[in-house]
């Protein structure tokens, strides 16, 4: 099932659009005893109850596909006589009017559902007259098929918190009576799946409020399906692989992991561009070959990369995760911050170098200006050894003062940077 198909069903869960014909259920206490059973014609419910039950039905089809909503395919043996799929088919065809099948349904859930506390099992029956749609998705006034299905919701029932309240008849404040309140569904399912806007009796859409606690015991024991990792579980497993391999307290402590997240995000951006060009484009999945390429790209040492690749292949042998399921937004933000810091340090180094160059140029300019000024003032600058300086004397010749510098045969002279023979 895709998002559009889920929304198509949910949009009908309104006062005027709803066509549920039957609602059944049972209330189970913490000792796994059935306290009461209910069986109602849905459209005959009082309005307040009608809307409350509709809210529960909507919640059972809420969340994101691949995370809160998982599609399972029944193993072939479950479609034979005595299999779970065959049992659900019989329950659907009974339109919830067979008490024996309903009792067995409740018992099977109670047996396999691992939950501490009280809970309510609800099951809705509906027939949806699926209208044909044109290529531009406009509905035609012509039925394509009648999609009959079951929607099951399992809701926790908890005791309200103690509080004070106002009693109008007695005009006083006193302790409120604590009530048992039905909460939003913890888990549930839609059978059969609504694939390509048609009944898919080989599949079931499973709901879990908490994608990290999908109740594998219910999936395997009651539905007979093989559990798969949700998007949240896939991301958690992916991070654990890096923590265990690289020895970090958490994956985001490691620079390799942050760079890998950046690479995954680039892959996702490419996928988005491809989907814009082709609406039928398949989502990117991260294969062992892809993860090996990324590990080499970011420079993970070979002894670690081989271990990561092997762990990844083992953990995701059943279903390869979509790239979008492995992206950690916190890690991306941290990598972006680190990149900003690196860029800032590089800018500081460049500016420091520019400042030093400017200082050097300014000092050189000062020296050059001083020399030029000295030359303009006809100043004589001598540079020689201390021994030679002692030999220099001054004499008055024809009324002018001269410096007398004795020059040996092996000595050279340089005036204004030019070697001169005297």
Could you report the per-residue pLDDT of 307-336, keeping only the tens digit for each?
Answer: 888 888 888 887 888 888 888 877 777 767
pLDDT of the residue at 106: 97
Structure tokens at 59: 């919640």
* Segments of 269-367 assigned E as strands: none
User: Does the structure show a pLDDT above 60 at 170?
Assistant: yes
Neighbours of 286 (CB within 10 A): 21
Prediction pTM value: 0.71
* Short-list 48, 28, 24, 36, CA closest to 151: 24
Note if the bond before 192 is cis, omega within 30 degrees. Answer: yes
C-alpha 121/C-alpha 24 separation (Å) is: 8
C-alpha 309/C-alpha 247 separation (Å) is: 16
Q: Is 303 helix (H, G, I), strand (E, B) or coil?
A: helix
Work out the average pLDDT over 151-164: 92
pLDDT of the residue at 378: 60
pLDDT of the residue at 42: 92
Band of pLDDT at residue 337, cut at 50, 70 and 90 = confident
Q: For residue 69, what is the enclosing H or E element?
A: strand 69-73
Q: Is 194 helix (H, G, I), strand (E, B) or coil?
A: strand
User: 């047996």: which residue's tokens?
Assistant: 111
Give 55-73 pLDDT, tens digit per residue. 999 999 999 998 899 999 9
pLDDT of the residue at 376: 57
pLDDT of the residue at 183: 94
């Amino acid at each position: 099932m895709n998002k559009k198909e889920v929304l198509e069903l949910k949009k009908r869960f309104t006062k005027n659009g709803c066509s549920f014909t039957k609602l059944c259920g049972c209330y189970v206490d913490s000792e796994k005893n059935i306290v009461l059973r209910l069986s109602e014609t849905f459209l005959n419910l009082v309005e307040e109850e009608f809307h409350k039950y509709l809210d529960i039905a909507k919640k059972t089809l809420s969340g994101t596909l691949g995370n809160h909503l998982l599609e399972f395919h029944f193993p072939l043996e479950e479609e034979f006589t005595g299999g779970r799929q065959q049992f659900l088919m019989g329950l659907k065809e009974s339109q919830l009017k067979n008490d024996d099948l309903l009792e067995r349904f409740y018992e099977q859930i109670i047996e396999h559902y691992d939950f501490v506390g009280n809970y309510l099992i609800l099951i809705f029956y509906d027939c949806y007259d699926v209208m044909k749609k044109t290529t531009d998705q406009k509905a035609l006034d012509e039925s394509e098929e009648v999609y009959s299905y079951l929607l099951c919701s399992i809701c926790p029932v908890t005791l309200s918190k103690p509080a004070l309240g106002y009693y109008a008849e007695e005009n006083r404040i006193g302790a409120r009576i604590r009530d048992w309140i039905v909460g939003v569904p913890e888990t549930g399912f839609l059978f059969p799946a609504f694939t390509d806007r048609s009944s898919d009796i080989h599949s079931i859409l499973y709901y879990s409020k908490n994608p990290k606690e999908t109740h594998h015991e219910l999936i395997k024991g009651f539905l007979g399906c093989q559990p798969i990792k949700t998007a949240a579980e896939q991301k958690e497993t992916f991070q654990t692989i890096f923590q265990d391999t690289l020895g970090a307290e958490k994956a985001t402590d490691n620079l390799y992991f942050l760079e890998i997240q950046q690479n995954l995000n680039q892959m996702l951006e490419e996928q988005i561009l491809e989907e814009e060009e082709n609406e039928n484009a398949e989502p990117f999945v991260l294969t062992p070959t892809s993860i090996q390429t990324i590990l080499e790209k970011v420079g993970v040492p070979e002894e670690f990369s081989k271990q990561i690749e092997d762990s990844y292949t083992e953990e995701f042998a059943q279903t390869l995760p979509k790239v979008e399921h492995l992206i950690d937004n916190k890690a991306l933000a941290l990598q972006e911050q680190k990149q900003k810091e690196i860029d800032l340090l590089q800018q500081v180094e460049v500016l420091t170098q520019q400042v030093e160059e400017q200082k050097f140029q300014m000092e050189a300019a000062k020296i050059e200006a001083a020399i030029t000024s000295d030359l303009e003032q006809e100043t004589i600058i001598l540079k020689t050894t201390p021994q030679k300086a002692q030999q220099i004397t001054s004499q008055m010749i024809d009324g002018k003062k001269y410096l007398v510098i004795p020059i040996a045969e092996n000595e050279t002279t340089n005036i204004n940077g030019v070697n001169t023979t005297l």
